[in-house]
Amino acid sequence: MAGIKIQFLGHSGFKITSLEGKILFIDPWLNGNPLAPVSVDKIDKADFVLVTHDHFDHMGDAPQIIQATGATLICMPETIERLIIKSEIQESQVIFGMGMNIGGTANLDGISITMTQAFHSAQTANPAGFIIKLENGFTIYHAGDTGVFASMKTLGDIYKPDLAMLPIGSVFTMDPVQAAYAAGLLGAGIVVPMHYGTFPVLEQDPLSFIEIMKRDAPDKEVIIIEPGQEMAF
């Protein structure tokens, strides 16, 4: 696992650097994000940009990153149509030229990206999550914005994620209790909380989640990544 790097960009945004140096951004909302550690203008390299849904705090700066780096956009077809119209993204910059949908997998230079369901809302298409299997087999689940759902166990059984990124902020997503239950369904040994602290209405820190996990899932490691911090796995 050594050599994989994950940087938290605040809210639900992450930068993942694979063992082979591929760079993936998930939900890169930087401009206007009070927790963002870097300006989008500073990003000059990316291979893939994954967008779970089209709310402003998730789709965010995906178009600018794609235009600046030539990265491939991975999200729902209807959301891609919106981005093509509004942001001058070309079909050649889009996975399969048209996007993908829940259950689909894209195999890209030794990395597989599978789109999963999420239970939330969106302006276009449906919200989604992603399961990312890197070149050495290390598997990451980014839940997107969602409530807990029973078939998270199915995702865990099929894909056996090593690390799960789960929202804990409540109001718009799972709260800490639901997120802890979701962690048990998924079976990932490492859990990274996200989607908290950005707005006053959200859960402000992961302390309650940590305590619930200690009680209900002591076999799992909760890792708090501060905005801007990069950790190796």
Residue-level pLDDT at 91? 87
**Domain boundaries defined on the chain:** 5-232
Residue-level pLDDT at 156? 98
Residue-level pLDDT at 1? 45
CA dihedral 65, 68, 70, 71 (to 10 degrees): -20
Q: Each residue's pLDDT tens digit in the chain (233 positions)?
A: 458 999 999 999 999 999 999 999 999 999 999 999 999 999 999 999 999 999 999 999 999 999 999 999 999 999 998 888 777 788 899 999 999 999 999 999 999 999 999 999 999 999 999 999 999 999 999 999 999 999 999 999 999 999 999 999 999 999 999 999 999 999 999 999 999 999 999 999 999 999 999 999 999 999 999 999 999 99
Q: Which fold has domain 5-232?
A: Metallo-beta-lactamase; Chain A (3.60.15)
Residue-level pLDDT at 86? 74
Residue-level pLDDT at 2? 53
Q: What angle do CA 21, 76, 83 make, to 5 degrees?
A: 85
Q: DSSP for the chain, please give it.
A: -TT-EEEE-STT-EEEE-TT--EEEES---TT-TT-SS-GGG----SEEE-S--SHHHHTTHHHHHHHH-PEEES-HHHHHHHHHHH---GGGBGGGT---TT-EEEETTEEEEEEE--S--SSS--EEEEEE-TTS-EEEE--S----TTHHHHHHHH--SEEEEE---SSS--HHHHHHHHHHH--SEEEEES-SSSTTS---SHHHHHHHHHH-TTSEE----TT-EEE-
Residue-level pLDDT at 89? 85
pLDDT, tens digit, for every residue of 7-16? Answer: 999 999 999 9
Residue-level pLDDT at 13? 98
Distances (CA, A) of 198 to 36, 129, 177, 194: 10, 20, 19, 10
**Separation CA 41–CA 38 (nearest Å):** 8
